[in-house]
Amino acid sequence: MYAPGLMAPAQMISAKLSTGLLPRQDEIRMFGGYGTGAPCSGCGLPLPPTDVVYELVFADERSFVFHPTCANLWRVLKDAPGGDWRVTCSCKEWNGYAATLAEAEELGCEHIAVHSRRSRHVIAIARN
């Protein structure tokens, strides 16, 4: 059953993924510990010293500290297709996602520009 209290953190994490504030790649290391009072990288709420936290470290040496629930939400949302518009090609080798129709059209044009020399490509754009 869905917990209503998780909606705000999920929306915040999704927004941070969309803007690049949170990474979409997998971490290279993970540490567990207790909070220091700093804000959670996912929901922004404080991580008090009584709460268990996960610190995720990435290849570019950035690290992010999460509540366990926020870390789990990040793991699910980072791999979810982003954007409201789905862009597919008749070559069946490529799919893209975009936040706006204009971005979706641009993605389709970029794909055609790169691959049209080899074969014919038909781009379909649909709202998710």
Task: Give the integer Cα–Cα distance in Å for 107 and 59.
Answer: 27
* Phi, psi of 121, deg, nearest 5: -125, 135
Q: Which pLDDT belongs to residue 62?
A: 93
pLDDT the model gives residue 83: 59
Strands 63-66 and 29-34: unpaired
Confidence at residue 3, expressed as pLDDT on a 0 to 100 scale = 44
The per-residue pLDDT for 26 is 92
Q: Residue 7, SS3?
A: helix
Give the HSE-up count for residue 14: Cα atoms under 13 Å, Cβ half-sphere. 14
Please tell me the predicted confidence (pLDDT) of residue 128: 55
Find the radius of gyration of the CA atoms of the chain. Answer: 18
Spans in the chain with pLDDT lower than 70: 1-7, 81-85, 92-95, 100-101, 115-119, 126-128
pLDDT of residue 117: 64
